[in-house]
Amino acid sequence: MMSIHIQTKKLSQYLAVTALALTACAASAALVVTQTTSSSALATALGGTGLTIDSVSATNGAATQFGTYTGFNQNPVTIGNGVVLSTGLVSQTPAPSLSGDFPSTNTGASSTSEFNSYAPGKIANFSNSFDVARLALTFTLASASAVKFDFIFGSVEYPKYVSNYTDAFLVFLDGTTDQITYDAFNNPVQVATSFVSQLTTLDINSVFAGEHGLISGLTTISPLLLAGQHTLLFEVGDVNDHNLDSAAFIANFSVCTPGSNALCTAGTTATNVPEPGSLALIGLGLAGMTLVRRKKAGVKSGSSAALV
């Protein structure tokens, strides 16, 4: 009986180590958001590799809807440091996620003409929009090229109101009609179709962790642009009501340079999501359990005297 007791003790130790590792992983989430409308701070956060950022300004929405962030780096959902836009308060976008209808802030902001002109027939069940945070970016290219950026879009509208309150993230290039950002299935980014097709609830960085959700691992690549000055309007808005916040995290704005990992074909591409750190740790625990079971089997298959 002593041998079985020892193996059971080892199993308990494996499970205890795994539990501690999982706890440490969850506790180390370090998303830090700084509310700001400073043009220089927002421009620095966006990046701008290979081009010149001329100006960045918050042109619609309350000041509390704009900010920069660092530390969105805990697997399985990660993105580089950048800019965050919210339909509510950017200060409420970091973890932890709370069950129920939180965060939910009516900032009193209006929509924009381009958001309301584009959305009908493209955003599910669209009737009107509110609390639109619009960030206007002007940049200059020295030579003809495409530009790109990574993004995450999350919403508290999930899971209760996916089809009725379809908050959206839209990006307009050089005017008010050329919307260039889509999900991996070529739909405008929104709570409705985007969440149905590629939702994740496994994020531990943001308030959009389960029970809420987000879409991630996406990169927008623009069409080929001529040398000279261009504009992008990044817009995230509440659809059909002022309630339950959504947010977009935007990073790595740069020229798209063709290469082994970038074909620079216009559109939105899905990228690989790293293996969840928590799943790797759970795997470690399961491996420990398997080892213990094998040792138990070895004891049972030996002489009966070993168990006396």
Res. 288: pLDDT tops 60? no
Note the pLDDT of residue 170.
98
- Reported as a pLDDT band with limits 50, 70 and 90, residue 270 is confident
pLDDT per position as a tens digit, 155-166: 999 999 998 999
pLDDT per position as a tens digit, 95-147: 988 778 899 999 999 999 999 999 999 999 999 999 999 999 999 999 999 99
Note the pLDDT of residue 197.
78
Conformation bin of residue 91: beta by default, left when phi > 0, alpha when psi is -120 to 50: alpha
Predicted structure pTM score: 0.80
Domain-wise residue ranges, the chain? 1-29+275-302, 31-271
Res. 69: pLDDT tops 90? yes
pLDDT per position as a tens digit, 191-226: 999 998 789 999 999 999 999 999 999 999 999 999
CA dihedral 100, 103, 108, 113 (to 10 degrees): -90
Res. 255: pLDDT tops 60? yes
Locate 25 and state its tokens.
């992983």
What whole-number percentage of the chain has pLDDT above 90?
69
Q: 304: exposed, middle or buried (C-beta count within 10 Å: 0-12, 13-18, 19+)?
A: exposed
Note the pLDDT of residue 308.
24
